[in-house]
Amino acid sequence: MTIVLRPGSPDFRELPWLLPLVSWPGQCAQIEDLPRGLSRHPVVFVNVSGGIYALKELPPGKAKSEFEILQRMEELRLPVVTPIGYMEAFSVSGGASVLITRYLECSLPYRSLFMSNSLVRYRESLLDAIAGLLVQIHLAGIYWGDCSLSNLLFRRDAGALRAYLVDAETAHYFPGHFPALKRYDDLEIMSESVDGELLELNSANLLANGIPLDATGAYIRLRYQRLWEEITREDIINPQENFRIQERIRALNTLGFSVGDVALAETDNGNQLRLKVVVTDRNFHRDQLQMLTGLDTEEMQARKMMNEIQEHKATLSRLNNRSTSLSVAAYHWLEHIYLPVTSQLFSLANQNTTLPELYCQVLENKWYLSEKAGHDVGHQIATDDYLKKFSGMDN
Ligand SMILES: Nc1ncnc2c1ncn2[C@@H]1O[C@H](COP(=O)(O)OP(=O)(O)OP(=O)(O)O)[C@@H](O)[C@H]1O
Ligand SMILES: [Mg+2]
């Protein structure tokens, strides 16, 4: 038996590796009972040195290849579960392999989103999140080959959702040129799987009201196409219209995409320029916020917080009667706004909701109360009111 682990991982050797995963519950004290999606292979969650990990049993050799493609996707900064390592066991009967990934905290399985009427506000954003994830992986040169609701996990992101890829068994990396046919393939698979999964929920009488049964896959495809065109389109600009380059970059940043190369080439008649912008990943605000404050958040949460920091920068400049740099404003915001507010929210953070998400909900509440009052009510009033409304409830 061989166990390969990435550096810094805890010691997994104590686990009962000689037993098949299906027999671990009852035999292994470290098993954690947590919700999970449907799967063909046995999956268990274990607690090792205080961290939670998902283990998936696969045929020999398969865990290594899934581990490697997940690592590649992580390098490409795509939203995937974090690969930790794999175990390979050889035996006369053939053996098995086990993939180890870090358990994705605070994620929601799709079933609860479609089954509950109270989560209805998330549904549209769930479909957008799937389209967004497919665009991201295709831009990075990854073909998935198995896009379905059960192979995704969803995390709350400033009132919307972000999709994470969980099952990469069939994924393949095409460095350089990504074949258009592969994009088409992935959309076909997604469309068929999603509609099939909804049909299944419906026949089990588990689907909430108002979900179009056969049009959901087509809807995601449409959202995908719109986003793909927005990102990959080429603009024709006049030589004196350099500002349009900045405009285009800003529009992509607003969608969360970071921009790598900007290419300008003369058109055939030589009078105009062809502008092509290459995006690198979808962590623009997230990276900015992390660099300025050290906070690790989702992209939309970071965008909301960066907007607040920009606003805070303007306020500080006005109060001090001198221009304030973004890093000074960010530090001030962290110390005087973010940390004091979140220190009051600890009791509400749970398996489904992180502190940055709770902070965004307080911001939303502040906006709502300020609208009603006709003036800015401030963070403390919004926090008190939020705690009054939601303490003791499942937010
Ligand atoms: N790292 C993780 N964090 C949270 N949940 C996870 C993780 N890994 C797996 N799961 C849960 O386990 C389920 C099954 O995992 P996965 O889809 O990889 O199995 P599979 O047998 O390959 O699926 P399929 O039948 O699609 O081939 C997922 O839907 C997810 O709910
Ligand atoms: Mg799966």
- CATH number of the domain where residue 208 is located: 1.10.510.10
Contacts for 119 with CB less than 8 Å, ≥ 6 apart:
112, 113
Shared-domain flag, residues 11 and 66? yes
Taking the CA of residue 148 as reference, the ligand 1 atom at the shortest distance is 26
CATH of residue 55's domain is 3.30.200
List, in sequence order, every beta strand (DSSP E) within 212-258.
235-237
Average the pLDDT over each of 28-42, 215-229, 289-303 and give the range with the smallest value.
28-42
C-alpha 107 – ligand 1 centre gap (Å): 12
Among protein residues, the one whose CA lies closest to atom 19 of ligand 1: 39
Among protein residues, the one whose CA lies closest to atom 1 of ligand 1: 103
Q: How confident is the model at residue 49 (pLDDT cuts 50, 70, 90)?
A: very high
The total number of structural domains that make up the chain: 4
Query: Which of residues 102, 136, 162 is at a domain's end?
Result: 102
Average the pLDDT over each of 1-5, 104-108, 173-177 and give the range with the smallest value.
104-108
Shared-domain flag, residues 246 and 301? no
How many angstroms separate the CA atoms of 236 and 234, rounded? 7
Shared-domain flag, residues 240 and 225? no
User: Which two structure tokens, joined as six digits, stand for 331?
Assistant: 């530090």
Contact criterion met (CB below 8 Å) for 284 and 299: yes
Residue pLDDT, tens place only, 278-326: 898 999 999 999 999 999 999 999 999 999 999 999 999 999 999 999 9
Shared-domain flag, residues 132 and 72? no
Q: Is the minimum distance from the CB of 166 to ligand 1 under 6 angstroms?
A: yes
Average pLDDT over residues 111-138: 83
Average pLDDT of the chain, as a whole number: 92
Q: Is the minimum distance from the CB of 320 to ligand 1 under 6 angstroms?
A: no
Residue 19 resides in a domain:
yes
Shared-domain flag, residues 225 and 238? no
Domain hosting residue 321, numbered range: 297-390
Shared-domain flag, residues 260 and 224? no
Shared-domain flag, residues 373 and 262? no
Query: To test the ligand 1 pocket, which listed residue (40, 150, 194, 197) has its Cβ within 8 A of the most ligand atoms?
Result: 150
Residue pLDDT, tens place only, 62-79: 999 999 999 999 999 999
Residue 172 resides in a domain:
yes
How many angstroms separate the CA atoms of 213 and 9, rounded? 43
Shared-domain flag, residues 212 and 241? no
List, in sequence order, every beta strand (DSSP E) within 59-177.
83-89, 96-102, 107-108, 142-143, 152-157, 160-165, 172-173
Residue 285 resides in a domain:
no
Contacts for 84 with CB less than 8 Å, ≥ 6 apart:
5, 6, 9, 53, 100, 101, 102
Shared-domain flag, residues 22 and 117? no
Q: pTM of the prediction?
A: 0.89
